[in-house]
């Protein structure tokens, strides 16, 4: 087995993942401030498991181990930030293995997988360990570094909304991230800032995240589930549904999302609609992961059909 490290690849082929990792640093810092050092331990374990998975696959396939491919580490970080700070390290390891081994490598590695590996890993882990995946420690509670910490767990505001109740937190607390939820997804202002930075820095285009958020917002406004004003209900649905974090780090995953701009925009609309349907009627709270799995074939279909339409249009214009 040979080892390869190409700095050019790191700045070209894997640039989006590099930028994802950089922009996740402030989210990780805030998560560590709120939940303690266990967040960094979780990320360290996930990073080690992702790197070891890449090494094992390279050995089994007798391929070159490409150290420039940081996609596995990035996927592991996104997966980890979707978990409670109190999650058992066993579940973290299992979920990271599913994300990298099956979600990424079982389909040929980076550029070949048909759906978002994080969505697959999270959906599998949520189905296997629902009690552990959807119980959260309170913010600023000291979560021990132990393998499976004994801390009091609470449901999230999203769970209250799904039961037809109004969350016991204010809009201000939701915006500031002071509520029970996955370790890195509750800081919506920071996630939105990271999204803007990723778009400006051209790590992604605006088409999918903007269409996704706009569709989700319009439907949440049109069909409010929370008592009060439509606007308040919409904001609560979007924040509790992890829409800002999903828009930044899940919906525009570079390998599994459509490639042309029109397909991206339509895909974002479809994904926003499917996400809110899963939010309203699904069993689990992080609806976007399940929506991404359902919409994966739609993305490739739109790419083929809309790319063909655009080519025919351009051909017709040149002939004219």
Q: List per-residue pLDDT tens for the chain, 320 residues long.
A: 566 655 666 556 678 888 999 999 999 999 999 999 999 999 999 999 999 998 988 888 887 777 778 889 999 999 999 999 999 999 999 999 999 999 998 888 887 888 899 999 999 999 999 989 999 999 988 889 999 998 888 888 888 888 777 888 888 888 888 888 899 999 999 999 999 999 999 889 999 999 999 999 999 999 988 887 889 889 988 988 899 999 999 999 888 888 888 999 999 999 999 999 998 887 777 889 999 999 988 888 888 877 655 444 444 444 44
Can you read off the two tokens belonging to residue 292? 């991404």
Q: Where do we find the tokens 């979780």?
A: 42
- C-alpha distance from residue 43 to each of 46, 77, 132, 142 (Å): 5, 6, 18, 17
pLDDT at 227: 82
φ, ψ at 136 (rounded to 5°): -125, 140
CB atoms within 10 A of CB 20: 26
Select from 238, 216, 234, 217 the least CA-distant residue to 225. 234
Whole-number Å distance between alpha carbons of 4 and 63:
10
What total of structural domains would you count in the chain? 1
Whole-number Å distance between alpha carbons of 115 and 227:
36
Cβ-proximal residues to 56 (8 Å cutoff; 6+ apart), any chain:
none
pLDDT at 267: 93
Cβ-proximal residues to 77 (8 Å cutoff; 6+ apart), any chain:
20, 21, 24, 28, 43, 46, 47
pLDDT at 316: 46
pLDDT at 171: 84
Can you read off the two tokens belonging to residue 155? 């449901």
pLDDT at 312: 41
Q: Which domain holds residue 165?
A: 3-319
Whole-number Å distance between alpha carbons of 122 and 1:
31
Q: Are 123 and 73 in contact (CB under 8 A)?
A: no
pLDDT at 308: 56
Burial 234-249 (b: 16+ CB within 10 A, else e): bbbbbbbbbbbbbbbb
Whole-number Å distance between alpha carbons of 23 and 8:
20
CATH number for position 262: 1.10.3430
pLDDT at 319: 44
- Tell me, letter by letter, the H, E, C secondary structure of the chain: CCEECCHHHHHCCCHHHHHHHHHHHHHHHHHHHHHCCHHHHHHHHHHHHHHHHHHHHHHHHCCCEECCCCHHHHHHHHHHHCCCCCCCHHHHHHHHHHHHHHHHHHHCCCCCCCCCHHHHHHHHHHHHCHHHHCCECCCCCCCCCCCCCCCCCECCHHHHHHCCCCCCCCHHHHHHCCCCCCCCCCCHHHHHHHHHHHHHCCCCCCHHHHHHHHHHHHHHHHCCCCCCCHHHHHHHHHHHCCHHHHHHHCCCCCCCCCCCHHHHHHHHHHHHHHHHHHHHHCCCCCHHHHHHHHHHHHHHHHHHHHHHHHHHHHHHHHHC
Give the pTM.
Answer: 0.90
Q: Are 121 and 98 in contact (CB under 8 A)?
A: yes
Q: Where do we find the tokens 């739109």?
A: 302
pLDDT at 311: 45
């Amino acid at each position: 087995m040979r080892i390869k490290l190409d700095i050019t690849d790191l700045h070209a082929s894997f640039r989006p993942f590099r930028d994802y990792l950089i922009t996740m640093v402030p989210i990780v810092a805030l998560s560590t401030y709120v939940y303690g050092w266990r967040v960094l331990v979780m990320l360290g374990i996930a990073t080690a498991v992702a790197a070891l998975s890449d090494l094992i696959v390279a050995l089994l396939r007798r391929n070159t181990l490409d150290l420039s491919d940081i996609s596995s580490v990035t996927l592991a970080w996104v997966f980890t930030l979707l978990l409670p700070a109190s999650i058992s390290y066993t579940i973290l390891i299992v979920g990271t293995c599913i994300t990298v081994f099956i979600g990424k490598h079982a389909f040929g590695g980076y550029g070949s997988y048909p759906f978002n590996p994080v969505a697959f890993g999270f959906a599998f882990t949520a189905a296997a360990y629902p009690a552990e995946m959807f119980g959260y420690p309170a913010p600023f509670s000291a979560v021990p570094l132990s393998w499976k910490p004994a801390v009091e767990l609470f449901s999230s505001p999203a769970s209250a909304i799904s039961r037809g109740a109004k969350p016991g937190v204010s809009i201000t607390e939701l915006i500031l991230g002071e509520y029970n939820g996955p370790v890195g997804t509750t800081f919506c202002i920071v996630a939105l800032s990271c999204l803007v930075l990723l778009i400006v820095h051209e790590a992604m285009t605006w088409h999918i995240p903007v269409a996704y958020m706009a569709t989700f917002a319009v439907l949440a406004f049109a069909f409010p589930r929370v008592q009060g004003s439509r606007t308040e209900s919409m904001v609560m649905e979007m924040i509790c549904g992890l829409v800002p974090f999903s828009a930044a780090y899940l919906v525009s995953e570079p390998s599994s999302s459509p490639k042309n701009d029109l397909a991206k925009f339509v895909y974002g609309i479809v994904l926003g609609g499917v996400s809110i349907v899963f939010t309203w009627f699904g069993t689990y709270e992080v609806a976007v992961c399940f929506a991404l799995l359902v919409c994966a074939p739609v993305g490739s279909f739109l790419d083929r059909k809309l790319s063909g339409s655009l080519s025919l249009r351009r051909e017709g214009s040149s002939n004219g």
